[in-house]
Amino acid sequence: MAYDGVHGGYELISRKKEYESYAGTGDVFASVLTAAMTRQENFTSGVKKAADFVSRAVALSHKAGIPMTDGVCFEPLLNRL
């Protein structure tokens, strides 16, 4: 759930959980959202961008066979930001 305190309003933002839970996804999510806010992007679109990015990173990590405890592989996806 994203609440935009500047413009008002709530929006439910969800992504389907398809794979394991990887360590570090919260940190990656917060980093992408913080970058969006620093660039003065809309809060809700920043949350969507962060959710999409983490979803892609988890899928990439799963495909690469990275153990869940080793964290999420996001570096190859940075050019999508």
pLDDT in tens, 27-52: 999 999 999 999 999 888 999 999 99
| Distance between first and last Cα of the chain | 22
Average pLDDT, the chain: 92
**pLDDT tens across 51-61, in order?**
999 999 999 99
DSSP state of 80: G
Element at 2 (helix H, strand E): strand 2-3
Give pLDDT, residue 29.
96
CB count within 10 Å of CB 49 equals 19
